[in-house]
Amino acid sequence: DQQVKQNSPSLSVQEGRISILNCDYTNSMFDYFLWYKKYPAEGPTFLISISSIKDKNEDGRFTVFLNKSAKHLSLHIVPSQPGDSAVYFCAAKLDSGSARQLTFGSGTQLTVLP
């Protein structure tokens, strides 16, 4: 069941440049999307989220864009820093107000080169 897909398993970016991580989903009923960052030997850490009623949410260097018609979201990191190197997971949820599960993508390993 591939309801949330991250088609790029890895991405390398030079320090200071923009990192763009992509995520596609198939279930049009998802109404809440999140990005998590994961370092080795640690649990996923919440980064940023967006409601389906918005198309953009910005928090410092991180911006998430949502294109509902294309069922696509992306995370932009500007400027990228070496400490951003981690696995980034896209996640989605039905019915944001319930205890229902998050559905995760398979993750993208971001490497920011100094």
Partner 1 sequence: EPEVTQTPSHQVTQMGQEVILRCVPISNHLYFYWYRQILGQKVEFLVSFYNNEISEKSEIFDDQFSVERPDGSNFTLKIRSTKLEDSAMYFCASSHRASSYNSPLHFGNGTRLTVT
Query: Binding residues for partner 1, per CB under 8 A?
Result: 32, 34, 36, 41-46, 49, 51, 89, 93, 96-107
Closer to partner 1 by CB, 67 or 96: give it.
96
Question: Are 35 and 90 a contacting pair, CB within 8 Å?
Answer: yes
**Element (DSSP H or E) covering residue 20:** strand 19-25
Which residues are registered as beta bridge partners of 110? Answer: 11, 86
| Smallest distance, partner 1 to C-beta of residue 46, A | 4
> For partner 1, which is the closer residue by CB, 43 or 83?
43
> With 0-12 CB in 10 A as exposed, 13-18 as middle and 19+ as buried, what is 69?
exposed
Q: Which is nearer to partner 1, 46 or 67 (CB)?
A: 46
Minimum CB separation from partner 1 for residue 104, in Å?
4
